[in-house]
């Protein structure tokens, strides 16, 4: 993971140089979420690109292995429940991997294919060779007599990062503490805590190697917020350098 306070302080240092503008915690959190999602979603385009090109392979420089390590941070699995003939994906679902029915891997079929597969008793799926189709945010399992035992491996969405803070009390201000947000390192729980509350923090879920990338990604966006083209320019230039080294 990437520490969110370290990233925020770096972004403030660069963006606030020569008093060019201040990024509030709320603005930063929104930009951090956008930046993290952009980096996450770019993994899959890179993966497709790497698969099309031959790359030098070694223990620590194989781009396929490096990318797999970054993606696997978001690996998850879960058991699904039947409702109205469908098994809905988990709320944090992003991309489907393997579907298993009672520990047997199910085969995928398109809606066109399933019409032909189920048209004849000779090809109709059985419990020992299940088939599934994707229906929006859910899957349908064949044979339809199956009503439990469905498990999926999937990639989940990144949780929204959060730089949490508390404001100093009157006594703290009187003692000389600056009247500005104080970082709260208490861990935020996305399952139970409220994002609208200012307290508690949640680090980026990106691989540690993405720290520099997320800093410059946020700077690119922050330059628009504080209306400073040079800040965006710094971020864009550095992003391009990073992308060039990853080819």
- Separate counts of helices (H) and strands (E) for the chain: 7, 11
142: β partners = 131
pLDDT level of residue 57 (50, 70, 90 thresholds): low
Pair 163, 225 in one domain: yes
Domain match, 177 and 218 both: yes
Which helix (H) or strand (E) covers residue 133, if one does?
strand 131-135
Mean pLDDT, the chain, rounded, equals 86
Number of domains in the chain: 2
High-pLDDT (> 70) share of the chain, %:
82
Residue 174's pLDDT is what?
Answer: 94
Q: Please check the confidence at residue 148 and state whether its pLDDT lies above 90.
A: yes
What is the predicted pLDDT for the residue at 239?
Answer: 53
Tell me which DSSP letter residue 138 carries. E
Do 87 and 23 have their domain in common?
Answer: no
Query: In which element (H, E) is residue 107 found?
Result: strand 107-108
What is the model's pLDDT at position 20? 46
20-49: pLDDT as tens digits? 457 899 999 999 999 999 999 999 887 766
Q: What is the pLDDT of residue 226?
A: 47
Phi, psi (deg, nearest 5) at residue 83: -150, 120
Q: Which residue has the higher pLDDT, 56 or 80?
A: 80
Return the number of other C-beta atoms located less than 10 Å from residue 140's C-beta: 17
Same domain for 21 and 42, yes or no, is yes
Structural domain ending residue among the three candidates 156, 178, 213:
156
Do 174 and 138 sit in the same domain of this protein?
Answer: no
Q: Are residues 179 and 135 in the same domain?
A: no
pLDDT for position 22: 74
Averaged pLDDT for residues 55-74:
76
Could you tell me if 68 and 167 lie in one domain?
yes
Higher pLDDT, 242 or 212: 212
State pLDDT tens for residues 176-233. 999 999 999 999 999 999 999 999 999 999 999 999 999 989 988 886 554 454 444 5
Same domain, 221 and 113: no
Rounded to whole angstroms, the Cα distance separating 93 from 88 reads 10
Dihedral sign of CA atoms 43, 48, 60, 155 in order: positive
- Residue 114 and residue 51 share a domain: no
**pLDDT score recorded for residue 62:** 72
Q: Same domain, yes or no, for 166 and 219?
A: yes
Domain span including residue 220: 4-72+158-245
- What confidence category does residue 13 fall into, taking pLDDT thresholds of 50, 70 and 90? confident
Domain boundary among 156, 182, 212: 156
One domain, residues 101 and 55: no
Among 156, 173, 197, residue at a domain's last position: 156
């Amino acid at each position: 993971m990437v520490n969110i306070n370290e990233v925020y302080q770096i972004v403030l240092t660069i963006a606030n140089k020569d008093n060019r503008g201040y990024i509030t915690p709320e603005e930063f959190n929104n930009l951090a979420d956008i930046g993290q999602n952009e980096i996450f979603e770019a993994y899959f385009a890179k993966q497709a690109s790497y698969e099309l090109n031959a790359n030098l392979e070694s223990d620590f420089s194989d781009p396929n292995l490096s990318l797999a390590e970054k993606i696997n941070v978001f690996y998850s699995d879960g058991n699904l429940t039947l409702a109205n003939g469908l098994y809905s994906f988990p709320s944090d679902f992003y991309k489907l991997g393997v579907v298993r029915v009672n520990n047997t891997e199910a085969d995928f079929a398109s809606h066109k294919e399933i019409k032909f597969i189920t048209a004849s008793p000779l090809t109709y799926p059985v419990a020992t060779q299940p088939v599934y189709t994707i229906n929006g945010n859910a899957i349908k399992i064949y044979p339809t007599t199956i009503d439990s035992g469905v498990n999926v491996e999937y990639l989940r969405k990144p949780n929204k990062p959060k730089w949490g803070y508390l404001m100093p009390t009157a006594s703290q201000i009187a003692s000389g503490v600056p009247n500005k947000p104080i970082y709260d390192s208490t861990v935020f729980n996305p399952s139970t805590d409220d994002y609208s509350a200012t307290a508690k923090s949640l680090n980026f879920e990106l691989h540690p190697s993405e720290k520099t990338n997320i800093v410059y990604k946020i700077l690119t966006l922050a330059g628009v917020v504080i209306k400073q083209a040079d800040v965006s320019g710094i971020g864009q230039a550095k992003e391009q350098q990073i992308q060039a080294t990853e080819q």
